[in-house]
Structures are given as C-alpha cells and as structure tokens.
Structure 1
Amino acid sequence: MNHRTRSDGHGVLVVRNARSGSAVIRSDPAGTFAERLPAARVHELGEGEDLVEVVDAAMKTDAAPDVLGIYGGDGSVSRMAHLARQHDRPLLAMPGGTFNHFVRALGVETVDDAIDALAADSTVEVGVVEVTADADEPVTVLNVVSIGAYPELIEERERRSSLGKWLGGAVATAVALRRAEPLTIVRGGRRARVWSVFVSVGRNDPDRVATMQRQETDAAVLDVRVHHARGSKVRAFASLAFGKRSAAVLRAIGLFPRDADIERLVVREFELQVRPEPGHPSVFVHDGELEERAPGGFTLRCVAVPRAVTVFAPPGAPGVPSSPR
C-alpha cells in the first residue's frame, strides 16, 4: 500500500478529542486544520461517541482514509495507534493532551510539527507493547503500563473529577497517601509485596521508577521497574515523580526510594498475577488510561512488538532519517 498523501490532507482522517488536555490552556487547532489540511476529513469526537466506531465507519466507505490522525492526549493517541495497526494505516499523532508523552518522545511538540512531517512524508517505525489482562483482547501501549500506587492515585482522582483536575488531583493524592498499602504480585511462582510496577516501552532512564515517557523509538524490549515494599508510603508516592528535576530534588532530600528497593528487568515478555489488598481497587493504567478489573485481582501479560506502527515524525527526530524517505 502506498502511504504517500497530499500535503493538503487529502486521504487523511483527523479525529479530535476536545476533552483531552482540559487542564491545559491551548489554542484551538481548528484554524490550523482548515488552513493546512483543507482536504482532510476532521471529526470532532462527541460525548459518548466511540473512537473505534468512528474509524471503522470511515474505513467502510468508498473513500476510506489513507492516514489516521488523532488530536488528543496519550490515551487517545494509543487507541488510534491500535486502530492504525488493525487497518494497516500510518498514524498522524498531534499533541492535544496534558502531557503528550508519546509525541514529545518523537520530537512532535506542536500540531504544525506533525503536519510538517506529513507534508514531508517523514515517518518512523515505532515499537509498542501489547498488554493483555486475563483473557481480554490485547491493547496497544505506547509509553507505559503500571500497577500499584499510580493506578490507585488515578482511580481516586477520577472519583473526584467534579472538583477539577488540579484540585481533584490534590485531594486524591492526600486520600491515596493515607490509604496506600502494598499489593501482592506473583511472578514465576514467586510472591512479592510491592508498591508499584512500571513496564515501559523500550529501555528507559535508569534513575527513574515512574517511566511515564518512552525514550526509544523502535522499542524491542520492555524495561520493568518493580518497587518492592520495603520503604515508607512517602517513598512510594515520591517514586511517582517522572520529571528529572523533581526526581533529583526528592533524591537529594532523601525521599526517593533506595536503589536496593528497585528491581529492574529488561525483557521481551513479562507476566504477573496482581493481588490487591481487600478494599482496594483491582486496576491498572496504560498511557494514562485507567482499566478496572473484577475484585480480587487479575493476570497481566506484556509483550514487546517492535516496528508495530508507522508514525509521522520530524526528520532528525529519534529514529527518523535526517532526510525524508
């Protein structure tokens, strides 16, 4: 299949998730889409509308898109990446969320950066992780999947969404810190009590526990960080700092977890059984998306899949040739 497209957006479907990044003040991209991609089909994702249904309906038309584009946060981008894999289409990912970990790792800081890459037909083959919970269908993960303290924090924050993202987050942090307990994992027949487990797409910064943003493009391995529950609750939540500066400050004042409490594995596959304490949610998070399971625990399996999806990225970005193909 020829993935080349016209620079005016002909053959491009862009789905815009306006609810992403609601905590960040950013300019409306509608003018940019109209000016730079006048021939593209732009679809605003409505309340309760399903991204899968929107894309599947577009693919069944006589004018099925050649490129699947998404304007949204990491969760929206990862869902569209999964659909791009299913339909064998390249992905046009544009930053429209709060953190935009994935696109930033590819050197895409703005909507214009992504459109420039589209116009230049500059792409990179990106590795992903396929994550399966129990017997469900695998989902595509672009950055990280996590269990433990971080998913419980997200679960608390979503319960307080009416307070707003920042206030709700502050209240959720206080509540989660008070209620925090280690959970039990079973791996290879061996049990362990842990505060958290992070499974990153590709090798990541060895000084971090919360590897929220990927560091490699064509990731062929998983970088696993297991935070064993030998330290305090404060250290457990300090470990969630994913910024280099924040982690350095916490390390300097002695709040960051000790190196001896962090187990690191670099593997191609990783499987474990998750057993939360009674009264605690049975949850995990992937690319900022909370997934709830039946009470009592679940089995989580992660598999690295290199070169899984083609993504438009600026020339010279990590893994992208300096001259477009």
Structure 2
Amino acid sequence: MTSDHPHGRGVLIVRNAASGTSVIRSDPAATFAERLPEAAVRELAEGEDLADVVAAAMESDAAPAVLGIYGGDGSVSRMAGLARHYDRPLFAMPGGTFNHFVRALGIDDVDLAIDALEAGSTVPVGVVEAIADDDEPITVLNVVSVGAYPELIDERERRRSLGKWLGGVVATWTALRSTEPLTIVLGGRRARVWSVFVSVGRNDPDRVATMQRQEADAAVLDVRIHHARGSRVRALAALSFGKRTAAVLRAVRLFPRDADVERLVARDLDLRITPAPGHPSIFVHDGELGERAAGDFRLRCRIVPDALRVFAPATQP
C-alpha cells in the first residue's frame, strides 16, 4: 500500500513544546523538514488551545486530511478527540515522557510513525468516552482514574516550579502523609477505596495502576478497584506500573494484597464518587487532570470499539 500523503501532503502536525521536558529528546524539526516537507507544522504556543488551532486549519481553504500530533499522552488524547470530531485519521508521534499510547501501537520514535504514514498503514483503535457529571464526552486512549493517583498528580502540578521529577518526589512524600480513601457507589454497592483505574482494553492482570495501554483494538473496559483495607504506603505502592518495581514491592510485602483488588471487565461503568472531606474532586484521564466542583460527582465511562484510525505498523506488538 502506498501513501495518499507523499512527503506529508495534506498533513497538519501540531507540536506541543511543553511535552516531554523532563526527558532528553532530539528536536524533530529536521526530520519533519527532510521526510515531510509538504506537511503544515505548527508549534503550540503557551496558553494556546489545541482545539482552536485545529478548528482554524479545518476552516481554511486547504483543510488537512490528516491530523498529526507530536507530544505526550495528554496531547495525543486531545488530538484523538479532534480526529474523531472531524473524521480524520490520527498521526501520532512520541514527544512526551512516557508515550504509553503510541508505544502500545509499536511506535517508539518519530521515524517509525512516518514510515507508517508513508506506507498508508492504519489500525482501528478503540477508545473510552468518559463523561463527568453532564459535561461533554472526553476521548480517552489509556486510562481514567480516581483516588490516590489523581491526588498525586494534583500535588505534583502544585509544585511544577520544582521540575517534574523533584516535584513528583515532594508530591509523593505529601501523599504519604495526607492521602485518604474516597467513597464510590457502583451498581448500588458502596465501598471505600484507595483508587479506581478504568483501562481502555484488557490489561496486565497483575497490575493495579493500568496506566499503559496493552492492545489497539480495545472492545472492553478493564477495571481495577483498590479497596481501602491497607495503609497509605500500599495505596501509593499500587501506583507502580513497571513490572520490575512491582516485583520488588511484592517481595518486600508493600504491594496491595490480591484480596484487596477487585477486577472487572465491562463495556460501561457508572460511578458516583465522594472524596474525603477536605480533598479535591478530581479525576485523571491520560495523565490530564479533570477538576469538578467540590463534593461528589458522577463519572461514566463506555468503550467505543473502532472509534479511530491511527497510522501505525500493520503488525502490532
């Protein structure tokens, strides 16, 4: 199969310069100029809204046929929602810290993504639509979470001036002293939990924090509910998503017990969430914080199979 977009013709690429600042990554500008000289490359300025940039491009005389994004999971997730809105394929390149979504599709660098674009190779991708209270649906590519992880991200954002890694250390220390269980109602059952993770597609059965997507053509939600029967240390240890780290935590008996983690597979989920007094009403989707008015809120998630076409190698990892 040959590309319908030789040299990047008809492709809009938006770069999020704020993504991946905590890792050393080569500037892709030279690669874009050499391999995609006909693409329209636009750098997202600080405070500029991605949706506004894409809307302006779509209203122009040369509306793009492909929406491309160079950034982290949050940027890719936002562009995925826009690609669905405008019925365009997504051209996603790893430009963030973890790049969970593109790595799940076998894309480890910019050149591999461009190879797929040039080959015209797309794969169908399932997504989750998440709705907080009565807001518009949010397109989610990896995971939605409430509880300890969003609070940790919230604490880290408050310390952004320290840098991502040092801010993360300080946030973790703060969370070890202050994290409290929240109350959820699911299917008429009430429970006190440390966290809930709703993953797009089936995930590693041994993990609690299913932050890294495992499959492209997702058709179910994979839900992990960590019940509040252990310590704060175990609540934060559960957020480990690396196999080696999890293995070490299991060996020293800091990882949550299997009996404390409830695992569900479903096509939709309807949660009523009540934070502990004095704690924020927040959730996280693909690493992005979603804030609610103080107090309880409703979070609904449903799987949407084959919701998006993404340029990726035909052979999936």
- Counterpart secondary structure, 2:112: helix
Q: CA offsets, 1:11-32, max 9 Å, x none?
A: 0000000100110011000000
Matched residue type, 2:72 = G
Amino acid at match of 2:123: V
TM-score (norm 2): 0.98
Tell me by how many angstroms 1:278 deviates. Answer: 1.1
1:51 aligns with 2:50: yes
Identity %: 76
Aligned to 1:181: 180
Q: C-alpha distance in 1, partners of 2:290/2:172?
A: 19
For 1:321, the equivalent position in structure 2 comes to none
Provide structure 2 residue ranges, at least 5 long, that are not aligned to the other structure. Answer: none
String of CA shifts for 1:259-310, please: whole Å, max 9, x gaps.
0000000000001111001110110000000111100021000000000000
Tell whether the 8 Å contact from 2:3 to 2:119 is kept in structure 1 after alignment. no
Q: Which amino acid aligns with 1:113?
A: L
**Partner deviation per Cα, 1:115-157 (whole Å, 9 max, x = no partner):** 0000001110000000000000000000000000000000000
Residue 231 of structure 2 corresponds to residue 232 of structure 1:
yes
- CA-based RMSD of the aligned residues comes to 0.9
Query: Which runs of structure 2 are paired with 1:1-325 in the superposition (5 Å)?
Result: 5-318=4-317
Q: Given the two structures, how large is their TM-score scaled by the length of structure 1?
A: 0.96
Distance in 1 (CA, whole Å) between partners of 2:217 and 2:20 is 27
> Which portions of structure 1, spanning 4 or more consecutive aligned residues, are displaced by more than 2 angstroms?
3-7
Q: Partner of 1:24: helix, strand, or coil?
A: coil
Tell me the amino acid that sits aligned with residue 174 of structure 1: W
The whole-number CA distance in structure 1 between the counterparts of 2:7 and 2:103 is 24
Matches of 1:192 and 1:288, distance apart in 2 = 25
- Matched residues in 2 for 1:316 and 1:138: separation? 31
Aligned length: 316
Contact 1:210–1:240 (8 Å) recurs in 2: yes
TM-fit CA distance, 1:4: 5.0
What is the DSSP-based 3-state SS (H/G/I as helix, E as strand, rest coil) of the residue aligned with 2:316? coil
1:240 and 1:167 map into 2 onto residues whose CA distance is 17
Matches of 2:50 and 2:4 in 1, distance apart? 22
Q: Which runs of no fewer than 5 residues in structure 1 stay unpaired? A: 319-325
Aligned-partner Cα distance in 1 for 2:96–2:15: 11
* In 1: Cα distance, 2:196 partner to 2:94 partner: 27
* Structure 1 counterpart SS, 2:42: strand
